[in-house]
Chains A and B, each alone.
With several copies, the nearest count.
Chain A
Amino acid sequence: MIKVVFFASLRERFGSSGFAVENNQVESVAGLVKLLELPDGTSFNSIFAQEKLMVAVNQEVVDGDCLITEGDEVAFFPPVTGG
Chain B
Amino acid sequence: MYLRIRVQEANFSPAEVFKTLREASNGVGAICTFTGLVRDLNDDAEVTGLFLEHYPDMTEKQLVRIVENASQRWPLIGVSIIHRIGKLVPGDEIVLVAVAASHRGEAFSACEFIMDYLKTQATFWKKEVGADGEKWLTMRDSDQTAADRWQP
Residues of chain A having any CB pair with chain B under 8 Å: 5, 7-9, 12, 56, 59, 61, 75, 77-83
Question: How many residue pairs at the A-B interface have CB separations less than 8 Å?
Answer: 69
Residue of B nearest to A61 (CB): B121
B54 at the interface (CB under 8 A from A): yes
In the complex, which of the residues A5, A59, A61, A83 has the most CB atoms of chain B within 10 Å of its own CB atom? Answer: A83
Q: Are A7 and B138 in contact, with the CB atoms below 8 A?
A: no
Q: Which residues of chain B come closer than 8 Å to A82, judged between CB atoms?
A: 52, 54, 83, 94-95, 118-119, 122-126
Which residues in chain B, 64-118, are within 8 Å of chain A measured between CB atoms? 83, 94-95, 104, 115, 118
Summarize B's interface: helix, strand, loop or mixed: mixed
CB distance from B121 to the nearest CB of A (A): 7
Q: Which residues of chain B come closer than 8 Å to A12, judged between CB atoms?
A: 136
Q: Which residues of chain A come closer than 8 Å to B139, judged between CB atoms?
A: 79-81
CB contact under 8 A between A81 and B138, given known A56-B58, A59-B58: yes
Q: Are A59 and B55 in contact, with the CB atoms below 8 A?
A: yes
Q: Roughly how many angstroms separate A59 CA and B121 CA in the complex, as a whole number?
A: 12
